[in-house]
Amino acid sequence: MVLKGSQVALRAYRAGDAPDIQAWVWGDPAVVPHPAFWDHPQSLAETEAFLAAMMAPQPDPPLAVNLAMALADDPQARYIGGCGLHAIDWRNRNAMLGIVIGRPDLHGRGLGTEAVTLLLGHAFDALGLHQVGLTCFEYNERGLRCYRRCGFREEGRLRERRFCDGRFWDEVRMGITEGEYRSHADGR
Ligand SMILES: CC(C)(COP(=O)(O)OP(=O)(O)OC[C@H]1O[C@@H](n2cnc3c(N)ncnc32)[C@H](O)[C@@H]1OP(=O)(O)O)[C@@H](O)C(=O)NCCC(=O)NCCS
């Protein structure tokens, strides 16, 4: 699957992505300064296990959509990050969204906003979902702004759930419904 925007393309993961994932996502504390999903530097074997999980066949209907990000004008579509929908609940037509851009030099240039918008289009138009949620820590101002720009609204907070830089921070829960996505898209 390829979802293409003006700056980014979302494609399936491929076996050759492991070194870029290792170098860009897990190797640079500037990317994820306070990692939520791991607590130690990842070995290549661990990265390959992660990649295998991303590439594993999904049931039909799928429980997750895992996509790699590439620059739209890169003919090799080299990995720059990943995004996806997980915990897809088909009965209630909702899912959770996640994203990481692995190269800090590409942060703050609108790629995240474009990727999330592409993914929401896929969620609502192709998969027929009704609501997409996410969580983001309070200190991640860039993430929070990116999600708001895509039409997400704050739904609540798990207070002081995360300790870093000498204090506790809230975990912010955000969400967007199909209707909100469509009115947001109309307003763009
Ligand atoms: C979070 C992330 C996906 C956002 O993607 P991005 O391409 O960097 O974001 P965009 O450029 O599309 O939008 C960033 C928004 O934050 C603002 N911003 C940029 N740099 C910022 C900074 N250092 N601090 C606060 N806000 C910042 C931008 O002005 C923009 O807001 P606006 O649209 O209201 O002007 C990306 O930065 C990333 O992968 N970060 C590391 C991993 C991560 O935090 N993942 C999300 C976990 S919930």
pLDDT in tens, 149-174: 999 999 999 999 998 889 999 999 99
Are 95 and 43 in contact by the 8 Å Cβ rule? The answer is no
Higher pLDDT: 62 or 187? It is: 62
What domain range includes position 15? Answer: 3-187
Distance CA 64, CA 38 (A): 20
pLDDT tens figures, 109-146: 999 999 999 999 999 999 999 999 999 999 999 999 99
Exposed e or buried b per residue across 71-107, where buried means at least 16 C-beta atoms within 10 angstroms of its C-beta: bbeeeebebbbbbbbeebeeeebbbbbbbbbbbeebb
**Residue 107 CA to ligand 1 centre (angstroms):** 6
pLDDT higher than 80, residue 34 = no
pLDDT level of residue 30 (50, 70, 90 thresholds) = low
pLDDT higher than 70, residue 31 = no
**Closest protein CA for atom 32 of ligand 1:** 145
**Residue 57 CA to ligand 1 centre (angstroms):** 31
Distance CA 86, CA 73 (A): 27
pLDDT level of residue 103 (50, 70, 90 thresholds) = confident
pLDDT tens figures, 38-77: 566 678 888 899 999 999 999 999 999 999 999 999 999 9
Mean pLDDT (whole number) for 5-23? 94
Mean pLDDT (whole number) for 18-29? 76
Q: What CATH number does residue 48 fall under? A: 3.40.630.30
Q: Kindly report the pTM of this predicted structure.
A: 0.95
What per-residue confidence (pLDDT) applies to 44? 86
Query: Is 99 near ligand 1, meaning CB less than 6 Å away?
Result: yes
Are 84 and 127 in contact by the 8 Å Cβ rule? The answer is no
Query: Is 100 near ligand 1, meaning CB less than 6 Å away?
Result: yes
Distance CA 107, CA 7 (A): 12
- Choice among 23-37, 133-147, 173-187 with the minimum mean pLDDT: 23-37
Count of structural domains within the chain: 1
What per-residue confidence (pLDDT) applies to 32? 67
Query: Is 83 near ligand 1, meaning CB less than 6 Å away?
Result: no
**Residue 91 CA to ligand 1 centre (angstroms):** 32
